[in-house]
Chain A
Amino acid sequence: MSVDLARLQAPLLQIPDRGGPAQPLLIAKGLRKWFSLSDGLFGSRTVVRAVDDLSLTVRKGETVGIVGESGCGKSTAARLISGITPADSGEVILDGKTFWAPRTRIGAEGRRAIQMVFQDSASSLNPRMTVTETIAFGPRAHGVSSAKAHSYALDLLAAVGLPPARFAERFPVQLSGGQRQRVNIARAIAMRPRLLVLDEPVSALDKSVEAQVLNLLVRMRQELGLSYLFISHDLNVVRYISDRVVVMYLGQVVEEASSDALFAAPRHPYTQALFASKPSLDPRTRVAAAPLSGDPPDPVNPPSGCRFRTRCPIAEAICAATKPPLDPVPSGDDDHKVACWAQVPGSGHTRAPAAVGALQ
């Protein structure tokens, strides 16, 4: 179990660092993805605005969590960033160099640099390949000899807690969900990536297994110096693993802050409601009233202005008129950004702080 991952003899070379420690590992700028659906043969075309103008940064060695409810675009965001789904517009910069832009190809090194782990551990593995073949497949595709790739795959299996003597020749159906997710993780790190994009990696697992996988992820991060983009709907898990957290609602970022700052003092009414919806774990202090009513609206026809206004307890006229910008909070650090008119000085929202511009 406790094989040090950094000591493994990896056949693929480490991708060299280009920009130095101050250069963010990943910068995504203005990513947009609208899916168009057609309503039957003669139906009108409808557009799902899955991700609208998403920007985010992952620093070197940092774990950024994305939280939100279903349909908020967090999984699409993960796929856009890793280049699996091409965005309509926007740009992804990896360590100072363009990783993805419209109409460009991702090079071999880029393909290795960002790896993904998906929620459904079964459907993301080839059912007709043994787990060793699956893990060795990537390195072989990048020019490593079969023998080397195979022995490296065995080392990785041991490192993620699956003794090769028992597991090497197994097929995915012969594994439990937690074991399959370990294989998925081993397959991702076999490419020696710099960023792991983890899309709900523990959501389908039992609690005791979830803890095992999270412990493995924390250990890997320390030993390999990886950065993570960790997507989950589970606030406790995100808080446990993330340095910084991005909150999404209907395809847009509504709040972004360090994990500590966000959980200590959420600013956006949606973030506050999301936190207040969390079951208490203590039967003596139960949630007294649901903070929000209704379900999130359909991303096909998102509300005008601020998309949360239809469920927001403090919505006012300005919220329907214009979309609030994602700006640093008025009294706080620059890392804490929120998109809410009630936080913008002089916005016209009755709860907004007084404008400071008049003093200058």
Chain B
Amino acid sequence: MTVPAPCSASSEAVLQISDLNVAFRAGSGWLPVVRGIDMSVERGRVLVLLGESGSGKSVTLRAVVGLLQQEGARVSGQVKVEGDDVTAMSQREVLELRGKRVGFIFQEPMTALDPVFRIGEQIAETIVRHRGATWKEAQARAKQLFDLVQIPSAERRLRAYPSELSGGLRQRAMIAMAMSCEPQLLLADEPTTALDATVQIQVLLLLREIQKELGTAMVFVTHDLGVAAEIADDVAVMYAGRIVEKGSAEQVLLASRHPYTQALTSCVVRGSYRDLALGELSGSPPDLSQLPPGCSFAPRCSQRVDECGRVDPLGSECHPRHMVSCVKVEAYAGL
């Protein structure tokens, strides 16, 4: 759908997604959830997928680890992790990929960790499975990992069950598990949303530190602009299964061009302007089974022109590496 930006197509890309489409079965038909996404993440960089619920950001993440086919979804397009296409992999190859080359951090560690095994055993199991280490080596490695994610009294915590740890410690343990095989790519699905404010910032800073230190590429899904501003190198904004704007964190968060991103940033309650009406986005996201013709955001857009109801905007660069899918912006830039 888009011409990939020349620099992002370099061989350094750890993750390269092109024209990814995902549809789920809904009644007798198919519901398009992700509609033609292109993106790439290079080594050592953090891409934040920003969007509201139902925009397709978590589904995109799950496509990277091949979790969708099992759920009966229809997936097309390419998802390349270090050059290997995940969509073409056998079940066995996908199992090798998960945990070893790609680490995953979920929003709710309580449901992602097994409640009947000790945390240390769960981490060691991953290392034994993917690294062929002995149980003893794996346990020692688990201890190192707990030090890496700054869990105090690591020995005791490794012997604990998930329910015995606080939310912040559980999420740190989850990060330790995701990093256990030193993956090239780390996927994080709202990892700090369930945490308290004073704990959220600790976990964000920890992730940022580990990721920069080890040079891991990371895709980070969130709906929170503040969290995005803290961690992102690049930001891609999703709406109704599409990326509508993509660029560096500063381009997207401070100088956004797409009307949806602009509305989203103006909705954020900043506290200072008390009692002034907040910027509002009227209506709600479209029903994916009955998408309007043309631009999906047009019915809610305050800058709509007639053309928006007819033309589905393709993304185009308004600045180097700053991509926007909007008819108006494209006309502006004289493209």
A316, CB-defined interface residue at 8 Å: no
Which residues of A sit under 8 angstroms from B273, Cβ to Cβ? Answer: 240
Minimal beta-carbon separation of B22 from chain A (angstroms): 21
Among the listed stretches B10-18, B94-102, B249-257, B312-320, which one makes contact with chain A, having 4 or more residues with CB under 8 Å of it? B249-257
- Residues 192-221 of A, flagged 1 when their CB comes within 8 A of B and 0 if not, give 000000000000001111111011001000
Q: Which residue of B lies closest to A202 (CB)?
A: B269
- Residues 258-297 of B, flagged 1 when their CB comes within 8 A of A and 0 if not, give 0000011001111111110111111010000000000000
Among the listed stretches A39-47, A144-152, A286-294, A340-348, which one makes contact with chain B, having 4 or more residues with CB under 8 Å of it? A286-294
A242 to B284, CA, bound (A): 27
B155, CB-defined interface residue at 8 Å: no
A318, CB-defined interface residue at 8 Å: no
In-complex Cβ contact of A69 among B196, B205, B254 (8 A): B196
A291 to B202, CA, bound (A): 8
A274, CB-defined interface residue at 8 Å: yes
Minimal beta-carbon separation of A37 from chain B (angstroms): 14
Contact of B267 with A295 in the complex, beta carbons under 8 Å: no
Contact of A295 with B168 in the complex, beta carbons under 8 Å: yes
Contact of B196 with A295 in the complex, beta carbons under 8 Å: yes
In-complex Cβ contact of B199 among A179, A211, A295 (8 A): A295
Contact of A211 with B250 in the complex, beta carbons under 8 Å: no
B113, CB-defined interface residue at 8 Å: no
B6, CB-defined interface residue at 8 Å: no
- Residues 282-319 of A, flagged 1 when their CB comes within 8 A of B and 0 if not, give 11101101111111100000000000000000000000
Minimal beta-carbon separation of A71 from chain B (angstroms): 8
Minimal beta-carbon separation of B152 from chain A (angstroms): 8
Which residues of A sit under 8 angstroms from B205, Cβ to Cβ? Answer: 287, 289-290
Among the listed stretches A19-27, A85-93, A122-130, A229-237, which one makes contact with chain B, having 4 or more residues with CB under 8 Å of it? A229-237
Contact of A279 with B268 in the complex, beta carbons under 8 Å: no
Contact of A211 with B254 in the complex, beta carbons under 8 Å: no
> Which residues of chain B have a CB within 8 Å of any CB of chain A?
52-53, 152, 166-169, 196-202, 204-205, 223-227, 229-230, 232, 249-250, 253-254, 263-264, 267-275, 277-282, 284
In-complex Cβ contact of B223 among A207, A215, A235 (8 A): A207
Q: Which residue of B lies closest to A275 (CB)?
A: B197
In-complex Cβ contact of A239 among B152, B249, B263, B274 (8 A): B274
Contact of B226 with A281 in the complex, beta carbons under 8 Å: yes
Contact of A283 with B226 in the complex, beta carbons under 8 Å: no
A296 to B202, CA, bound (A): 13
Contact of A207 with B198 in the complex, beta carbons under 8 Å: no
With A281-B253, A283-B254, A295-B196: A259-B270 Cβ-Cβ less than 8 Å: no
Could you show 6 A-B contacts with beta carbons less than 8 Å apart? A209-B284, A211-B280, A234-B269, A278-B197, A281-B270, A282-B253
A263, CB-defined interface residue at 8 Å: yes
Contact of B269 with A236 in the complex, beta carbons under 8 Å: yes
A360, CB-defined interface residue at 8 Å: no
A118 to B316, CA, bound (A): 44
> Which residues of chain A have a CB within 8 Å of any CB of chain B?
69-70, 176, 178-179, 206-212, 214-215, 218, 233-241, 259, 263, 273-274, 277-284, 286-287, 289-296
Contact of A211 with B198 in the complex, beta carbons under 8 Å: no
Which residues of A sit under 8 angstroms from B168, Cβ to Cβ? Answer: 294-295
Which residues of B sit under 8 angstroms from A238, Cβ to Cβ? Answer: 271
A65 to B268, CA, bound (A): 18
A320 to B166, CA, bound (A): 23
A166 to B263, CA, bound (A): 26
Minimal beta-carbon separation of A168 from chain B (angstroms): 18
Contact of B269 with A279 in the complex, beta carbons under 8 Å: no
Minimal beta-carbon separation of B139 from chain A (angstroms): 25
Most A Cβ at <10 Å: residue of B223, B230, B269: B269
Contact of A233 with B196 in the complex, beta carbons under 8 Å: yes
Contact of A218 with B202 in the complex, beta carbons under 8 Å: no
Contact of B271 with A263 in the complex, beta carbons under 8 Å: yes
A273 to B222, CA, bound (A): 23
Contact of B229 with A279 in the complex, beta carbons under 8 Å: yes
A263 to B271, CA, bound (A): 10
Which residues of B sit under 8 angstroms from A240, Cβ to Cβ? Answer: 269-271, 273-274, 278
A75 to B326, CA, bound (A): 44
With A69-B196, A211-B279, A211-B281: A282-B254 Cβ-Cβ less than 8 Å: yes
Contact of A235 with B232 in the complex, beta carbons under 8 Å: no
Besides A211-B280, A279-B227, 7 other CB < 8 A contacts?
A211-B269, A211-B281, A259-B274, A283-B229, A284-B254, A287-B201, A295-B168
In-complex Cβ contact of A208 among B230, B263, B270 (8 A): B263
Minimal beta-carbon separation of A44 from chain B (angstroms): 17
A214 to B273, CA, bound (A): 13
Contact of A206 with B202 in the complex, beta carbons under 8 Å: no
Contact of B229 with A280 in the complex, beta carbons under 8 Å: yes
Minimal beta-carbon separation of B307 from chain A (angstroms): 24
Which residues of A sit under 8 angstroms from B225, Cβ to Cβ? Answer: 207, 281
In-complex Cβ contact of A236 among B200, B271, B279 (8 A): B271
A99 to B187, CA, bound (A): 52
Which residues of A sit under 8 angstroms from B278, Cβ to Cβ? Answer: 211, 214-215, 240
In-complex Cβ contact of B267 among A70, A208, A282 (8 A): A208
Contact of B282 with A212 in the complex, beta carbons under 8 Å: yes
A241 to B202, CA, bound (A): 27
Contact of A291 with B201 in the complex, beta carbons under 8 Å: yes
Q: Which residue of B lies closest to A270 (CB)?
A: B198
Minimal beta-carbon separation of A98 from chain B (angstroms): 33
A237 to B230, CA, bound (A): 19
Contact of B202 with A292 in the complex, beta carbons under 8 Å: yes
Contact of B284 with A176 in the complex, beta carbons under 8 Å: yes
Q: Which residue of A lies closest to B52 (CB)?
A: A206
With A207-B223, A208-B263, A215-B280: A277-B197 Cβ-Cβ less than 8 Å: yes
